[in-house]
Amino acid sequence: MIPDVSKALSWLEAHPQALNGIQRGIERETLRITSDGHLATTPHPKSLGSALTHRWITTDFAEALLEFITPVDGNVDHLLAFLRDIHRHVSRDLGSELMWPLSMPCFISSEDKIELAQYGTSNVGRFKTLYREGLKNRYGALMQTISGVHYNFSLPLEFWQAREGITDAESGKEKISEGYFRLIRNYYRYGWVIPYLFGASPALCSSFIKGRENKMPFEKLKSGACYLPYATSLRMSDLGYTNTAQSNLGITFNNLTTYVEGLKKAISIPAEQFKHLDEKSNGHYQQINSNVLQIENEFYAPIRPKRVTRKGESPSDALLRGGVEYIEVRALDINPFSPIGIDADQARFLDLFLIWCTLADAPEMSSEELQCTRHNWNRVILEGRKPGQTIGIGCDTARQPLEVVGKSLFADLLRVAEVLDGSNKNSQYQDVCNKLISAFEDPELTFSGRMLQAIKDVGIGSFGLALAEQYRQMLQSEPLSVLTEDAMESERVASLRRQQEMEQRDTMSFDEYLAEQNQR
């Protein structure tokens, strides 16, 4: 069962002000598609600015894979309004193209159609594209077009002052980092609740697995879609982006020092399976290097400790300098029932769950136990809605019904919700709890349950394309509510200028730049 958090919850109820000032940010990915549903082959629109330097609109792996980034925000509704404004602006700018509303890609006839994201001629821009070249050569381009939503979350300094007795962020950075690593360990143990409730990839286009070996017992619809009857998030399964070379790294989340040591080791260990990619192809590099990880960002994890980096600083060096500043939740599928890929119920649930993860005791985890937690995630990802599904306790030393564990968790989350609602003088967080808990009694209320029924009715391609067109019309008809067109145009122009200045400042060749990066 879940840990006893009653004392910590009583503390929270006595210190409600400790939660005032939670900060959040969202990164949402979405593929550009043509009006008939195929992957767009056009370059990233110049009318949107520079993908390298724009603050809010960039690209991820491919030219056609848009990524929208919000600023840090203390208000859920304002945060989502900002994200919606980005969608409104982009939708009006794309002409006949649409934004694919699902995590799993569809209608990609060949990996050759997927062009790597381009960032100009600066060394930084070329390095970013080369990193993606390495990802393509290591894992395949199709894997990298799977889309998701990242939710960035941080607790206010007041929380750590009240809970840990620190005075300021600098002197208290070790205590704050310890708290966030406690959150992360609990996330690994209980975060399966996220794909259970919000997993939205129970099916995929058959073209996605065509010619690729897999051992999953897929059922097939007449429309061509492949699905598992009780799956929640095939995006999070072994079909998605995984790196088998990473499985033996033994990176743990017990403290900042060992975590960073593990990351630094991974970017310096040669991987024999990638060695052949060191040879140039037609005079071009095929990867940054042949190590297990080309760079730290290649480390696959459903959650990451983060700190904003300074110029020229690696993510791990930033963590060593200032400690953990926020965490990045990476287990969210695109929400197909929202035109912006995420909704307020999800954001508020994540607030509640991440606060709970910070409060609950979390014994240290060996790398072996960390692997054990994957069993629960896999059960939920592949068969989460299966009648009578159970969740393992510890390394499967005992099992409990998923429904029972989920309801126990929500009993705690409701107490956190009452504290937040008391400060906000409304019932929004409690309403989310009361709404979502019913999904443990009726799994068909989950995103995956609702989505699979629609896919069975019309097919996954038709389902996604109809939503894409519906959302285009919706977004294009709505005025901006937080941003202005002048602000968007100003950022577009400024981003192009910043890229140009970067390209003009380069003084070394790319070969020299790459060698310097690999020596760090």
Q: Which residues contact 128 (CB under 8 A, 6 or more apart)?
A: 52, 117, 119
Between the two ends of the chain, the Cα-to-Cα distance in Å is 45
Whether residue 242 is predicted with pLDDT greater than 80 in this model: the reply is: no
Strand intervals (E) in 207-269: 219-220, 225-227
Residue 108: per-residue pLDDT:
86
Q: In this structure, what token pair is assigned to residue 356?
A: 């709970």
Q: What is the pLDDT of residues 361-404, one digit of tens each?
A: 999 999 889 989 999 999 999 999 999 999 998 887 889 999 99
In the predicted model, what is the mean pLDDT of the chain? 95
The CA distance from 75 to 20, in Å, is 11
Hunting for tokens 């001629």 — which residue is that?
A: 121
Residue 239: per-residue pLDDT:
78
State the CB neighbour count (10 A cutoff) for residue 114: 22
Query: Do 52 and 125 contact (CB within 8 A), yes or no?
Result: yes
Residue 200: per-residue pLDDT:
98
Hunting for tokens 């399966």 — which residue is that?
A: 192
Q: Which of 239, 1, 258, 206 is nearest to 140 (CA)?
A: 239
User: At 401, phi and psi to the nearest 5?
Assistant: -60, 135
Q: In this structure, what token pair is assigned to residue 408?
A: 């126990």
At residue 420, what is the residue type? L
Q: In this structure, what token pair is assigned to residue 249?
A: 């790294």
Q: Which residues contact 495 (CB under 8 A, 6 or more apart)?
A: 49, 50, 52, 53, 54, 55
Q: How confident is the model at residue 214 (pLDDT cuts 50, 70, 90)?
A: confident
Q: What is the pLDDT of residues 471-519, one digit of tens each?
A: 999 999 999 999 999 999 999 999 999 999 999 999 999 999 999 999 8
pTM over 0.95: yes
Within 13 A of 214's CA, how many CA atoms are on the CB side? 17
Strand intervals (E) in 224-264: 225-227
Q: Which residues contact 412 (CB under 8 A, 6 or more apart)?
A: 2, 5, 9, 356
Within 13 A of 107's CA, how many CA atoms are on the CB side? 20
